[in-house]
């Protein structure tokens, strides 16, 4: 198993799953509620089945961590971290902002990531130490160094209605300090848009590993910075993600710490 095998497999599988999603846009059947607003569709499961079957066929000894099924644990340093449909709520409403996210982890470190948006046919990829690309062309984060001229992105947790730790306070703070904020509904794509310079900063809480695994690597490899809200060490297994072009990072940490 070489890096080329991993890269080609992840890209091909992300594209196949993305084609499935695109084919069924506007045809969502059964929807299940995992919480008050957290849903899963039959297409989530079909996409996940496709990806998991491909991994089991090509890399049967690898672990798999995915959103809709129990974790597949193996005695192996290799693990695939999958979001078969990031942006399920968007998808169920026919709002065309969703993607497939596939991350590959070696000994606890994500070393490759692929995020595919089938509606725009945009494939974001990154390999540890090599760089990030969009449809094969190198991407880098923006050069904006003023929070007041920055376009930010965020999201809200699924327990928004029940928990007071719901990001509304931070949204209010950033709304009057940044140029604008977008809340589009896909953490993986938000991170990729940051990596390609479309956003300048992004923050979100209560995410899961499959939301961040590929996207966080893509940001880092595009020259961006990813930490927790305090500017400390980031982990896809943590609950905070602050990602920026690096130039507005300190300003954003001050606001998230209540010091601005």
What integer pLDDT is reported at residue 165 of this predicted model? Answer: 84
Element (H, E) at 100: strand 99-106
Nearest CA-CA partner of 225 in 206, 253, 205, 198: 253
Q: Which residue has the tokens 């644990």?
A: 73
Are residues 100 and 18 in contact, defined by beta-carbon separation less than 8 angstroms? yes
Q: How far apart are CA 204 and CA 191, in angstroms?
A: 11
Report the greatest alpha carbon distance in the chain.
52
Nearest CA-CA partner of 68 in 186, 210, 228, 206: 210
Give the confidence band of 36 by pLDDT, cuts at 50, 70, 90.
low
Task: Describe the crossing of helices 249-256 and 168-175 by its angle, rounded to 10 degrees.
Answer: 130
What integer pLDDT is reported at residue 172 of this predicted model? Answer: 96
- Mean pLDDT of the region 166-189: 96
3-138 maps to CATH 3.30.1280.10: no
What integer pLDDT is reported at residue 137 of this predicted model? Answer: 98
Give the confidence band of 37 by pLDDT, cuts at 50, 70, 90.
very low
Q: Give Rg (Cα) of the chain.
A: 17
Q: How far apart are CA 80 and CA 72, in angstroms?
A: 10
For Cα atoms 205, 185, 215, give the angle at the middle one, nearest 5 degrees.
65
Q: What percent of the chain has pLDDT over 70?
A: 94
Whether the per-residue pLDDT at 28 is higher than 70: the answer is: no
Token pair for residue 124? Answer: 């974001």
Q: How far apart are CA 219 and CA 197, in angstroms?
A: 10
What integer pLDDT is reported at residue 164 of this predicted model? Answer: 80
pLDDT tens digits, residue range 44-80?
Answer: 899 999 999 999 999 999 999 998 899 999 999 999 9
DSSP H helical segments within the chain, as ranges? Answer: 3-23, 42-58, 88-93, 168-175, 187-195, 209-221, 249-256
Contacts of 121 (CB under 8 A, 6+ apart): 135
Where along the chain do its domains lie? 3-138, 147-256
Nearest CA-CA partner of 104 in 85, 139, 76, 123: 76
Look at strands 201-205 and 151-154 and give their pairing.
Answer: parallel
Token pair for residue 62? Answer: 């690898």
Q: Which residue has the higher pLDDT, 253 or 158?
A: 253
CB atoms near residue 70 (< 10 Å): 8
Q: Which CATH number does 147-256 carry?
A: 3.40.190.80
Task: Describe the crossing of helices 187-195 and 209-221 by its angle, rounded to 10 degrees.
Answer: 0
């Amino acid at each position: 198993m070489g890096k080329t095998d991993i890269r080609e497999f992840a890209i091909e599988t992300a594209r196949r799953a993305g084609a499935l999603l695109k084919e069924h846009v506007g045809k969502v059947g059964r929807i299940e509620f995992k919480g008050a607003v957290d849903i899963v569709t039959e297409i989530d499961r079909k996409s996940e089945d496709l990806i998991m079957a491909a991994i089991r066929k090509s890399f049967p000894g690898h672990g798999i961590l995915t959103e809709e099924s129990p974790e597949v644990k193996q005695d192996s340093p290799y693990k695939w971290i999958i979001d078969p449909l990031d942006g399920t709520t968007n998808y169920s409403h026919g709002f065309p902002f969703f993607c497939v996210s596939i991350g590959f982890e070696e000994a606890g470190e994500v070393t490759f990531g692929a995020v595919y948006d089938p509606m725009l046919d945009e494939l974001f990829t990154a390999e540890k130490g090599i760089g990030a690309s969009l449809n094969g062309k190198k991407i880098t984060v923006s050069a904006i160094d003023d929070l007041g001229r920055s376009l930010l992105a965020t999201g809200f947790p699924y327990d928004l209605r029940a928990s007071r730790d719901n990001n509304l306070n931070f949204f209010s703070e950033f709304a009057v300090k940044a140029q604008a904020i977008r809340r589009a509904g896909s953490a993986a794509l938000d991170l990729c848009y940051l990596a390609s310079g479309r956003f300048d900063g992004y923050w979100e809480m209560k995410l899961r590993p499959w939301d961040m695994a590929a996207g966080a690597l893509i940001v880092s490899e595009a020259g961006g910075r990813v930490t927790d809200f305090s500017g400390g060490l980031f982990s896809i297994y943590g609950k905070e993600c602050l990602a920026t072009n690096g130039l507005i990072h300190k300003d954003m940490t001050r606001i998230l710490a209540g010091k601005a």
